[in-house]
Chains A and B, each alone.
Chain A
Amino acid sequence: MCLGIPGKIVEIRKDAELATGVVDFGGAKREVCLSYVADDVSLGDYVVVHVGFAISRIDEAEAHKTYAILQAMSELGDLDFIRDNAESLLGEAGLPSAGQRPPESLL
């Protein structure tokens, strides 16, 4: 029920009493009420939309930071994994090359 879908603001209507605009959700465009984010958004920004209302602007810098941390965590985890399981992984194949993931079945 509290479903919120991220979309890109492609149109802002300034004339109406109630601030509205058009948000593009990966190709599907919908009219959205922007009054709760009006001071915070401009054309091209991404917003979270819930029941026809933009409720929050997506902070792109924070979004990238979160994703980068997750990726770094994953790579770090893989390195730990390779170190901890070196014997069983090495076998006859030798050292896994940089960036190579351990076999999925072991994860």
Chain B
Amino acid sequence: MKYLSEYRDPALARSLARRIRETATRPWTLMEVCGGQTHTIVRQGIDELLDGAIEMIHGPGCPVCVTPLEQIDRAVHLAGRSDVIFTSFGDMLRVPGSDCDLQQVRARGGAVRIVYSPLDALRIAEQHPDKEVVFFAVGFETTAPANAMAVVEAARRGLRNFSVLVSHVTVPPAMEAILSAPDNRVQGFLAAGHVCTIMGFTEYEPIAARYEVPIVVTGFEPLDILEGMLMVVEQLERGEWRVQNQYVRAVKRDGNEAARRTVHRVFELRDRQWRGIGMIPGSGLAMRPAFAAWDAELKFDLAGIVATEPADCHAGEVLRGLMKPFDCPSFGAMCTPEHPMGAPMVSSEGACAAYYNYGRYRTGSPLAHTGAGLPILGHA
């Protein structure tokens, strides 16, 4: 496929990896922010191709993984109501809530529907005027414009039986939370390319300057990721900390202004709880009062539903890069993609699921014999 397959060329990838190994004079520690990039790195064996030249810490950029437990509980509560059709992106269905997940609600007869786009949820609301249709609006800055448009369209079409449960998060405050933590190990970032198609990258410039870390806006294909890594490593070797753009074919410095305008019209900044990480000030988006009629939290009075996270899930340490998935005592034993304890084991973009599915087990682990993944770029 055009603009995909050419960025997967194994020979070019090996050559780039070799260049990174030759450039790095010490084992730099980099973080890829986005779960999509985590998936590519582990699936294609890019981490193994680098052979210890750099260590990749997998960032918190998986919306499924960081949606707080109480938002899941609120979703489960709504989905169980007989007057509600609950709509969601598919990957939220198996995220464990305090008692159960959305899939179990569906199995018990709850009306839970998977949609590809928030506009599909809007269509369902038009088709079912006798039902309340709620859409689970999760995601980063990439997804916020689509979800905001669904609200704008509901208002324009006068659809009063449609509402959204908003759980949006934004990337820069999370990067600052990671960088300002006393135990931070991250020396450079691959910033999430698709977030930047919307936001541009000027907001990363003060972060790069304040914390003296190189930040490179990076795409999602293997060659994009390797080139982004090389650009970070070159900066680190020269003692620089600038914001650079590897993903020039899709990201402009100022992003997508039309999309940002709609997001700003519908949502406002709010402190947001991140699952496994905790409260990050100003890191979330919530509905503006002008659109309160489409805010499921107000419409269904959900504020009373609160939850505490289980102590034996170490997702927070994994999401902050303090622990590799295979170092968690529950990994592969009590916690598997079939029976996940924490969200990073649910989503294919979660670090735990990626490590499990592509055979990244600790040496000597009883799991190690079950077979490694099939990295197409890995050592032949």
Contacts and interface: CB of A to CB of B under 8 A. Distances in A.
B142 A55 contact: yes
Contacts of A98: none
A6 B224 CA distance: 14
Contacts of A39: 258
A77 B4 CA distance: 23
What interface size band does chain B fall in?
35 or more
Contact of A63 (B15, B19, B249, B256): B249
B249 A107 contact: no
Contacts of B223: 70
B250 A58 contact: yes
Interface string B167-194: 0000000000000000000000000111
Interface majority SS (helix, strand, loop, mixed), chain B: helix
B302 interface: no
A81 B18 CA distance: 10
Interface string A34-74: 01111100000010101111011011101101110011011
Given A6-B3, A36-B145, A107 B89 contact: no
Interface residues of A, number: 44
Contacts of A105: 380
A55 B145 contact: yes
Interface in B318-371: 347, 349
A70 B225 CA distance: 12
B256 A37 contact: yes
A67 B64 contact: no
A74 B256 contact: no
A92 B248 CA distance: 45
Contacts of A77: 15-16, 18-19
B17 to A, nearest CB: 9
Given A1-B35, A36-B256, 16 more contacts: A1-B63, A1-B143, A2-B35, A2-B143, A4-B194, A6-B3, A37-B258, A46-B2, A51-B117, A55-B145, A55-B256, A62-B248, A65-B248, A70-B227, A104-B14, A107-B18
11 contacts: A1-B36, A1-B91, A36-B145, A50-B146, A50-B194, A51-B143, A56-B256, A59-B248, A65-B248, A70-B16, A81-B18
